A and B are shown apart, each in its own frame.
Chain A
Amino acid sequence: MDSNKTALISVRNLMKGFGATKVLRGVNFTVLPGEIHALLGGNGAGKSTMIRIITGAVRKDDGDVVLASPRGGIPKIAVVHQELALLPDLTVAENIALVHAASAATLVRNRSQAARAHEALCLIDPHLAHHALHRKASELSMHEGQIVEIARALSTGAEVLLLDEPTANLTAGETERLFVVLRRLATEKNIGIVFVSHRMKEIRQLCDVCTIIRDGMTVIDALPLTHLSDNEIIHQMGQPTERSVERDKRVLDQAGGGVVLRGPETSVPVLKGQILGLAGAPAGPSRLIAVLNGTAANADWEVDAKDWPKRPTSPRQAVQLGIGHVSGDRRLKGVLSQLPIVDNVLASRRVREGRHLVRGSERDECLGLVKALKLKAGSIWDLPSTLSGGNQQKLLVARWLGMPLKMVVFEEPTRGVDIGTKREIYELIRNMAGQGTIVVWWSTENVELLELCDEILAFDTEGRAKGLLPQDQFNEDALADLTGMAA
């Protein structure tokens, strides 16, 4: 790398707090033209907050952010966020062309729009470019949406690309093609690329240098990746390198209370107190989960057990039967945002036990749960928005705690929570299983499944069940192979 390059992005001693919690406590970060820069750190370390400050979506509290283009002025920055940011009612072509319109008064020209979008999509997925241009974004699968979004960012002619876990929903092949494009952009067009990922293999494959953020502070500042071993990186991120908890050799109750999940390709017997992991892209696990929590209209899975309907007809029936559900999509599917914490915690109990009146004793019940979960709340009459993301997630788990349940279904319960909270949620999951509840747990982080589950059912990217791994065959490569996801 040339030494006399001026930095595209230069962040010095950046500070940011939300309410009482300090998210950034002095972050340094530099991006040079032509480099592919890995930005690493655990969930909640502050990566996303920093990216949002750089792009102007969030205001900084203190520190310097200098953006400088070699051509003078502020460089054009394109971002691919973790959460999809496509406009659902517009077509793929319109979504891509949107960022090219010079002003609000620019006339919409369908043909040039389509041509431009086609060209952009061809960079990564010629097949999708051919078929999806005129489909609405809402009709795309999560994984197609991700490709469209990456294509849009690539096509903007930006001088800096910020990619926040862009490969989370991609297959190995697509990831490969994306990397080729990124390398070409870096070497030929001298673009600075920031790549956020949790996957060590990808980082080594693609990136030149890395910056590691931990608890809102930069601990490794732009060090070439060749200087660091995998273990050093994990250590610097503050993540335990070994399994922190000894896996207890639980003797599962073979006698009764188990169920058999029957799918189109396979049927999976699950015992009482067993933790069944679901691995792979969303398509497959979400179909099975929809059957379990009663949201599936016409699904291809069914439950085979005594005193259990093949498919609950509604979430209401599922809850009344004793099937709990925790979603990772807190905003839409989790928190009752306008209701105080106490209502949030007790809503499912009121339904399950058919309570008609809000009892005085519910206050103590809620306080007990809040205490058991070490939930940091000002008051149980505050709104959930006063809680941090991790505490909101614990709130969702609290709904099902200490209730006799047949089954709990977790849908990415650790998405976007920090490592400490993750550990606590793992512990809660383990305890629920210990009390004889069947735990079904979908996660896109294979590592956590391998750590906690008794068995893992792997789905490929098309949503087909590919195989059931018993605990003695757990291994990251095998799982990556079965799911077809980049490991």
Chain B
Amino acid sequence: MTTKATSMTSNDKTAPPPKSPSLLSVYRSELAIAIACVVLLVGVGFFVPAALSSGNFANILQASAPLVIMSLGVLIVIITGGIDLSVGSIFSLTGMVTALAMANGFSDISASLAGLGVGIVFGSINGALITLVGLAPFVVTLITYAVAASLAFIVTNGRSLGVNSPDYWLFNSGEFIPGLPNFILFCLIFTVALEFVLRKVTAGRWFYSVGSSPMAAYLLGIPVKRTRFAAYVISGTMASFAGLLTVSYILNAEATAGASLMLQAIAAVVIGGASLSGGSGSAIGAVLGALMITIIQNGVNLIGINSFWQGSVTGLAILVAVLIDRFSHR
């Protein structure tokens, strides 16, 4: 994202030192998406007043949490100029592995760690094949997408698996901080942490540098391979975490649970203002993109439109977002 600040001339000695760009100018396009979300919600509320109830808001947040977290991971990969097609399958496989581990008597924590291990392992495989072997991200993650998806069926021979651990739902809907459900807490922590890393940590700036101009970044001494490797590991791990969140909510794991999520996550990142050619994007934008997709799904359901239309409406939203982005910069 470009950040246009107030004009200043470097030679003018009398001019006051330039201020850092205001939050409003930094998050200009994010604000536009937030406004679009509100407009969408109000639009749905026009047909179905219940859409504006606090109960429905809670529904939307609950439903969007896994997508938000997965989108944040995919965002990092897209900022580095890559793509991660494997996140949906990693999401599914994580659920299966976790549920299977619990069914075999593992504790909640160790089963969850095993689930997270899926994302770490597949993320590392993605990263290694892309940075060390030099294969194209699209091809590599297409391979791991297919492999993880089939493994998700193999581990239980295709059966869905319930979670019988009585307290596991707390992971999602419990409240470590009274009044703040954990799924919201997790989303907030990840968003704030990632936004901080991307803007204020040197390594965070490296993600942009690598995505923007890999050759220049390399010559500047930025560890290009390590940065890209890290992006895929983070993306895989976040997808796994999103999988855990869903399992702990519906207390059931299914091999196809994440099938539609990969495209939704990429869509959320694009709506959030990131460019698929790399070098731009923000955590807050991706989160708002994920929220917008969930609001559209929620609205289509509430209004009672045939749910087959969901994809078309989401597609239209992506088109509008990309057009706004394109014309606000030129």
Q: Interface of A with B (CB < 8 Å)?
A: 293, 295, 314-320, 325, 327, 332-340, 343, 347-348, 350-352, 355-358, 363-364, 367, 370-371, 374-383, 399
Q: A335-B213, A358-B199 are in contact. Are A347 and B222 (CB under 8 A)?
A: yes
* CA gap between A290 and B120 in the complex, in Å: 36
Asked whether B203 lies within 8 Å of A315 as measured between CB atoms, the reply is no
Given the interface pairs A332-B215, A337-B213, A382-B5, the reply to whether A316 lies near B10 with Cβ below 8 Å is: no
Given contacts A335-B213, A343-B208, contact A357 B202 (CB under 8 A): yes
Q: Are B4 and A382 in contact (CB under 8 A)?
A: yes
Contact A316 B222 (CB under 8 A): yes
Cα(A363)–Cα(B21), bound, Å: 11
Q: How many A-B residue pairs have CB under 8 A?
A: 119
The answer to whether residues A338 and B220 also contact, given A358-B205, A367-B18 and a CB cut-off of 8 A, is: no
Give complex CA distance A320, B212 in Å. Answer: 22
* A318 and B280 alpha carbons, distance in the complex (Å): 28
CA distance A293 to B218 in the complex (A): 11
Considering only residues 51-110 of chain B, those with a C-beta below 8 Å from chain A are none
| Inter-chain contacts of B178 with A (CB < 8 A) | none
- Please tell me if B219 contacts chain A, counting CB pairs below 8 Å: yes
- Inter-chain contact B8/A337, CB cutoff 8 Å: no
Contact (Cβ within 8 A) A374 B10: yes
Q: List residues of chain A with CB within 8 A of the CB of B5.
A: 379, 381-382
Q: Report the Cα distance A303→B4, complex, angstroms.
A: 45
Check A339–B10 contact: CB distance below 8 A: no
Per the bound structure, the CA–CA distance linking A367 and B212 in Å amounts to 23
Q: Please indicate the chain B residues that have their CB under 8 angstroms from the CB of A376 in the complex.
A: 10-11
Sample of 10 more A-B contacts, CB < 8 Å, known A356-B201, A379-B4: A334-B216, A347-B222, A358-B201, A358-B204, A367-B17, A374-B10, A375-B10, A379-B5, A381-B4, A383-B2
Contact partners of A367 in chain B: CB under 8 A:
10, 17-18
How many angstroms from the CA of A132 to the CA of B231 in the assembled complex?
42
Say which residue of B10, B219, B220, B279 sits within 8 Å of A337 (CB atoms). Answer: B279
Decide yes or no whether B43 CB sits under 8 A from chain A: no
Contact present for B222 and A343 (CB under 8 Å): no
Contact A316 B223 (CB under 8 A): yes
20 contacts between A and B (CB under 8 A): A318-B221, A320-B221, A327-B216, A333-B216, A333-B219, A335-B213, A337-B212, A347-B220, A348-B220, A352-B221, A356-B202, A356-B203, A363-B20, A364-B17, A367-B17, A371-B11, A378-B7, A379-B4, A379-B6, A382-B2
Q: How far is the CA of A325 from the CA of B219 in the complex (A)?
A: 8
Known contacts A343-B205, A350-B202, A358-B200; is A336 also within 8 Å of B213 by CB? yes
Cβ B221 vs Cβ A333 within 8 A: no
- Within the complex, what minimum Cβ distance (angstroms) separates A129 from chain B? 33
Complex CA gap A371/B15 in Å reads 13
Which B residues are in CB contact (< 8 Å) with A379? 4-8, 18, 21
Q: Which residues of B contact A374 (CB under 8 A)?
A: 10-11
Question: Chain B: which residue is nearest A327 at the CB level?
Answer: B219
Interface string of B187-224 (1 = CB under 8 A from A): 00000000000011111110011011101111111110
How long is the Cα–Cα vector from A317 to B220 in the complex, in angstroms?
10
Chain B 14-31, CB within 8 Å of chain A: the 1/0 string? 000110110000000000
In the complex, what residues of A have CB within 8 A of residue B301's CB? none
5 A-B pairs with the lowest CB-CB distances in the bound complex, closest first = A338-B279, A319-B221, A338-B212, A351-B221, A379-B5
Once bound together, how far apart are the Cα atoms of A403 and B27, in whole Å?
33
The answer to whether B18 and A351 touch across the interface, beta carbons within 8 angstroms, is no
User: For A316, what are the chain B residues with a Cβ–Cβ distance below 8 Å?
Assistant: 221-223
- How far is A370 from B21 in the complex, measured between Cα atoms in Å? 17
CB distance from B35 to the nearest CB of A (A): 23
Residue from B4, B6, B204, B211 having most chain A Cβ neighbours under 10 A: B4
Q: Which residues of B contact A293 (CB under 8 A)?
A: 219
Q: Does B3 contact A (CB under 8 A)?
A: yes
**Which among A332, A343, A371 is the interface contact of B10 at CB below 8 angstroms?**
A371
Q: Tell me whether B216 and A336 are in contact (CB under 8 A).
A: yes
Residues of chain A lying within 8 A (CB to CB) of residue B10: 367, 370-371, 374-377
Complex Cα gap A352–B202 (Å): 12
Say how far A77's CB is from chain B's closest CB, in angstroms: 30
A382 and B219 CA atoms in complex are apart in Å by 22
Taken together as a complex, chains A and B put the C-alpha atoms of A377 and B18 apart, in Å, by: 12
- Determine the residue in chain A with the shortest Cβ distance to B18: A379
Complex formed: what's the CA distance from A380 to B5 in Å?
Answer: 8
B137 within 8 A of A: no
CA distance A382 to B216 in the complex (A): 18
B219 touching A336, Cβ below 8 Å = no
Q: How far is the CA of A203 from the CA of B10 in the complex (A)?
A: 41
